[in-house]
Amino acid sequence: MLRKICLLLPFLLIEPALVASAEAKDGSSNTTDGVKLHYLEAGSGPPIFFEPGWSMPAWIWDAQIKYFAEHFHIVALDPRSQGDSDKPTEGNSCERRAQDIKELIVHLKLDHVVLVGWSLGVPELLTYAEQFGGSRIRAYVLVDGFAWDKQDPQFITSMVGMYKQVQTNRREFTEKFVRSMYKKPQPEEYIQRVVAASLKMPSDSAVAASVSSISRADWRPALAKVDRPVLVMCQAKLKGMAADPIVSAIPAARAELFEDAGHALFVDDAERFNALLGEFILHLPEH
């Protein structure tokens, strides 16, 4: 433990602004059902795997890739139908996308990996735990996603309304959706880059991937399969949906709330997010 602290102490104390920019490299791997997945890879050391949210690209984690690649092996995935990965009409479900993660972990020979999932990535990681267990996993970090024990009819109704907007005016919807992800001002060039990336996901695939997560009535069976340490980070206003059900099912789970950040809290408050994630990893058991 002392050796680990000595190794990571400089990393934990360094000012985020002073972290050298790590050059992420493009990688690709084919799934067992013939889909070519694109991912970003940087650094070396203990592995951290980043799964982005609905319709978002791997590079949305740019602040984390640059920060953590100083001491970790970072992999950030473009899930199927997103970013620069293939756009199949099939397999846009939590179950298949969780299998994609599993296959990439095996392909890259990652072991004791910290899985970080945001938004739609939360049910995908829970599905991963349910399907494959934690033999290769060191910990789960669940970022601003939902894992209820019973569906909220009002929420489901609002999601169905969102799907209609996706199908009728995708660009207008996406502009509003992307801007709503942030509480703090972001450069317009950055916003438009995120919009363009989101629009790469075909509308039908986008709807299918989201329906797969919200159509599940009860996530408790999946939560019961989580046998590794868990960190939840979410907006304070979403505590009841994004943190409480997880902590109720996994009492040892740690929850950190963000009062002044939007859905993309790892962008709005990258400094705090990175510090919390780094500290969480520092105190994980060796095995």
- Closest among 237, 268, 230, 281 to 252, alpha carbons compared: 230
User: Contact at 8 Å (CB) between 8 and 71?
Assistant: yes
Question: Which amino acid makes up residue 217?
Answer: A
Contacts of 9 (CB under 8 A, 6+ apart): none
192: DSSP letter: H
Contacts of 253 (CB under 8 A, 6+ apart): 229, 230, 231, 232, 246, 247
Tell me the C-alpha distance between 206 and 3, whole Å.
45
Mean pLDDT of 185-202: 98
Token couple for 263: 């859905």
- Closest among 78, 64, 100, 81 to 281, alpha carbons compared: 64
Q: Residue 9's pLDDT is what?
A: 41
The crossing angle, in degrees rounded to 10, of helices 121-132 and 94-107 is 70
DSSP string, 53-110: -TT--GGGGHHHHHHHTTTSEEEEEE-TTSTTS---SS--SHHHHHHHHHHHHHHTT-
Mean pLDDT of 266-277: 98
17 pLDDT higher than 90: no
135 pLDDT higher than 70: yes
Q: Residue 286's pLDDT is what?
A: 77
Continuous segment of H or E residues that includes residue 232: strand 230-235
151 pLDDT higher than 80: yes
| Greater model confidence, 242 or 13 | 242
Give the other-Cβ count within 10 Å of 188's Cβ.
8
Continuous segment of H or E residues that includes residue 39: strand 36-42
> Which of the four pLDDT bands, split at 50, 70 and 90, describes residue 75?
very high
Tell me the C-alpha distance between 216 and 209, whole Å.
12
260 pLDDT higher than 90: yes
7 pLDDT higher than 50: no
Q: Residue 179's pLDDT is what?
A: 98
pLDDT tens for each residue of 36-61: 999 999 999 999 999 999 999 999 99
